[in-house]
C-alpha cells in the first residue's frame, strides 16, 4: 500500500520507513492511499486534515497524544512501542472502511423531518452501525464542519426508539440499536442486535 510518512525526526522516520517497506508498503511522496504521522509530527495533523480526506493514522506515545491526535483530525492511532504488524493492521482497516461521500438513508428513516446536516450525519452513522466515527471523520463533510455537537443533539431528539445515538467521549459518536418491540428490525443492524454491553440499549447517552 502507498503510504505518506510524516515525521520530523530523521532517525524515527528512517526506522518507520524501513518497517513499512519490510511489511510490503511503499513509502511515497505522491498519490498515497493513507497518511502515517509519526510521534514527532502530531502538530501537523490539523494542517494535513484540512488539505486531504485520506485516512490519517497517528503514532502516539501517551493518552494525551492520542486525544490530541484525534482532536486534530486523525482517523486512528497506534500506541508506542510501534509494532509493525499493528501499524499494518490499522492502515488496512482505515483504507478498507472509507466514509460514504453521499447520504444513503433507508426509506423508513428517510421519512423523518431532518435538516440537510442531520441527514448527512445519520447517513454516515448508518453506514457503519455500532462503530465509532471520530469527530474528524464527520467534520470532513461541509454540512457538519460547524456545530457538530448541535447537529448531534437535534438528531438524537428526532430518532425513533429503535436507534440510539451515543457519544464516545474523547473520540466521537456511534449509532446503536436501541429499545424496540420483539421481532422488530433496525435498518443496517442484524437481527437481535444489542448494545455494546450485550443487552438492548435502554437509554440514550446524555447530550455531548
Grid cell locating 109: 428513516
> Among 34, 171, 44, which residue's Cα sits nearest to residue 94?
34
Can you give the pTM of this predicted structure? 0.50
Q: Which domains does the chain have, with CATH numbers?
A: 2-96 (3.40.50.2300), 102-208 (1.10.10.10)
* pLDDT 10s digits, 117-171: 888 888 888 877 778 888 888 887 888 888 889 999 999 998 887 788 998 887 8
Residue 170 near residue 67, CB atoms below 8 Å: yes
Residue 27's pLDDT is what? 92
Task: Please state, in angstroms and rounded to a whole number, the distance separating the CA atoms of residues 167 and 150.
Answer: 13
Beta bridge partners of residue 35, listed in sequence order = 4, 56
* Average pLDDT for the chain: 76
Amino acid at each position: 500500500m502507498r503510504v505518506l510518512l510524516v515525521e520530523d525526526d530523521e532517525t524515527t522516520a528512517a526506522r518507520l520507513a524501513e518497517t513499512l517497506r519490510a511489511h510490503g508498503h511503499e513509502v511515497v511522496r505522491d498519490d498515497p492511499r493513507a497518511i502515517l504521522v509519526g510521534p514527532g509530527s502530531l502538530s501537523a495533523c490539523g494542517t494535513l486534515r484540512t488539505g486531504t480526506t485520506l485516512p490519517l493514522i497517528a503514532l502516539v506515545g501517551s493518552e494525551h497524544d492520542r486525544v490530541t491526535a484525534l482532536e486534530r483530525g486523525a482517523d486512528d492511532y497506534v500506541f508506542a512501542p510501534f509494532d509493525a504488524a499493528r501499524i499494518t493492521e490499522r492502515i488496512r482497516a482505515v483504507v478498507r472502511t472509507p466514509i460514504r461521500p453521499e447520504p444513503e438513508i433507508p426509506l423508513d428513516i428517510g421519512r423523518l423531518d431532518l435538516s440537510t446536516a442531520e441527514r448527512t450525519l445519520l447517513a454516515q452513522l448508518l453506514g457503519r452501525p455500532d462503530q465509532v466515527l471520530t469527530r474528524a471523520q464527520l467534520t470532513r463533510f461541509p454540512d457538519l464542519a460547524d456545530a457538530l455537537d448541535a447537529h448531534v443533539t437535534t438528531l438524537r431528539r428526532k430518532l425513533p426508539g429503535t436507534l440510539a445515538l451515543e457519544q464516545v467521549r474523547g473520540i466521537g459518536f456511534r449509532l446503536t440499536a436501541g429499545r424496540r418491540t420483539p421481532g422488530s428490525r433496525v435498518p443496517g443492524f442484524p437481527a437481535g442486535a444489542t448494545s455494546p454491553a450485550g443487552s438492548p440499549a435502554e437509554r440514550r447517552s446524555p447530550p455531548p
